Structure 1
Amino acid sequence: MKQFASLWAKAPAANRIAAAFVGFWLLLALAGPWLAPHPVGAFVDEDVFSGLSARFWLGSDYLGRDVLSRLLYGTRYTVVLGLGAALLASLCGTSIALAASLCGGRVDEVISRLMDTLISIPSKILALVLVAACGSSLPLLLLICALTYVPGNFRIARALAMNLAALDFVAAARARGEGKWAIAWHEVLPNMVHPLLADLGLRFVFVVLLLSGLSFLGLGVQPPYADLGSLVRENISGLTEGAPAILAPALAIALLTVGTNLLIDAMKPEGQ
């Protein structure tokens, strides 16, 4: 704990702000349902689109439900689905990239052309087609969002792996008789971690925006569940009134993505 406090005190202000942003949203995702003052679907207000008050900190929605409670529940779905899809996309993309770069030849050519084909399809169109064909349950949404961003991660990971595979320490490992996967795991991958972590953050932002867009179109998280994009869509009729029910989830999406981008910038090595 003391070591963590020392590192926190020595960290630049930008790093601490970024970490606080991301930590805040992770805390809400984990503890939000227990912090919610009302059940997520309870009708607690006779008025709709009521303003901020001591009883309803963020007002009520189009059915008289507490916006703060629904926001706390919705944050969990947005963060968990976004982080899970980003991790899965990065894991799959990096594994395929390592295999392609170390095998080379026809294997690399076939995999690269397949990924180029997938990446040429706009992510939102690909996701819409997959959701329309397969449905929009929570596990399917996670898999669809991950599949959508595997090609982008593959291209970055492959470029890193190809550069590293041409260096002397990899040639020395081959001369020692190490196998391809041993070289990938012990020599190449450790030198790719930092840029891949930055890419993971970007994939998370992309997935959050994609999920929010799908939910806004009614193809994402379905009732009785709701993510931040669903909360914006269902309260769209309160836009002309400037109701907190629509402003709060839209602001939450913005703060989540901005905070993640701040953390990505803070992760840059010194001197860059």
Structure 2
Amino acid sequence: MTFLSAPRIIRTGASKLASSPLSAKFGISVIILYTLAALFAPHLAPYSEAEIVATPFEPWSAQFWLGTDSLGRDMFTRLMFGARNTLGIALMTTVLAFSIGASAGLAAATFGGWTDQLLSRLVDVLMSIPQLIFALLLLSIFGTSIPALVIVIAVLDSTRVFRLARAVAINAAVSDYVEVSRLRGEGPIWIMTREILPNIAPTLISEFGLRFCFVFLLISGLSFLGLGIQPPTADWGSMVRDSATLITYGDITPLLPAGAIALLSVAINMVVDWLLHWASGLNEH
């Protein structure tokens, strides 16, 4: 098995990106734009996140580019801070879900036996309950604070990561280079981190993008239902709910946060599709 050095990986990635299809370049551009909006929201937004600046439902104007919401807060400001909050919380949740799920999946594939059986049966129990219903139940019990939201969704979503990580790790665990490592006397931790993990990394990276997309949509859905990110914290899901009444009057303002959610989801899927083609060696053109 060979390992690529970091500079070589960067050069390879840059060359692949230059030759990537237009859809992948579009997706990456959208992701970069959202990331910049999230990072620099306090500098881009004309007002503070929860500041009431006018009467409710002010129309679009030079002062309020996208009007105001049901409480008189600037919608453009809320959109900027919504990117910061929604994406930041979704990223934290996805990282935690992957840390739990991938570690458990690698352990199940490497140790096998009762470890594999115990973890697999536990995951089967958690996956037997619909995720949204389970999340609503747990958040009703433990509250809707941001730490509770992150932990509950991460634990539930880690079951999907576990199934994938275990499946690809089992295939790698029976490879010749892993058997050579065992015969050489290497321990299970070394085998997991140095032999199995590097060879399943492309699959996990692609799955990370999809999981982030699903977590992002789940958080937005929970916020729309009132059990996600709580006010006055800006969130795209709750922004759709708060301004939904405007659709009755032909105002497209509620479609802006909904469109932001949809655009990011499409962009992530475009990039993940390209990464899967790259990892599998298929010709994406």
Contact 2:109 2:169 in 1 (8 A): yes
Matches within 5 A, 1:63-74: 63-74=71-82
Partner secondary structure for residue 99 of structure 2: helix
- 1:203 pairs, out of 191, 198, 211, with 211
Whether 1:271 aligns to 2:282 is yes
Render the CA deviation track for 1:183-214: whole Å, top value 9, x for unaligned: 00000000111110111111111111111111
Contact 2:53 2:74 in 1 (8 A): yes
Shift of 1:170: 0.5
Residue 153 of structure 2 aligns with which residue? 145
Change (3 A) 1:7 1:67: same
Whether 1:255 aligns to 2:263 is yes
Shift of 1:130: 1.0
Identity of aligned residues (%): 43
- 2:32 pairs, out of 23, 27, 30, with 23
Query: TM-score w.r.t. structure 1 length?
Result: 0.93
Residue 190 of structure 1 aligns with which residue? 198
Residue 8 of structure 2 aligns with which residue? none
Matched length: 269
User: After the TM superposition, which segments of 4 or more aligned residues of structure 1 sit over 6 Å from their partners?
Assistant: 3-7
Contact 2:20 2:274 in 1 (8 A): no
Distance in 1, Cα, partners of 2:197 & 2:14 = 30
Render the CA deviation track for 1:117-150: whole Å, top value 9, x for unaligned: 1111111011101100100111111111101101
Distance in 1, Cα, partners of 2:275 & 2:60 = 37
Query: TM-score w.r.t. structure 2 length?
Result: 0.89
Distance in 2, Cα, partners of 1:71 & 1:182 = 45
Residue 7 of structure 2 aligns with which residue? none
Residue 254 of structure 2 aligns with which residue? 246
Shift of 1:6: 6.7
Matches within 5 A, 1:120-139: 120-139=128-147
2:87 corresponds to which letter in structure 1? V
1:271 corresponds to which letter in structure 2? L
Greater Cα offset, 151-160 or 15-24 = 15-24
Whether 1:219 aligns to 2:230 is no
Partner secondary structure for residue 240 of structure 1: helix
Distance in 2, Cα, partners of 1:118 & 1:5 = 40
Give structure 2 stretches of 5+ with no counterpart. Answer: 1-10
- 2:166 pairs, out of 136, 158, 182, with 158
Residue 93 of structure 2 aligns with which residue? 85
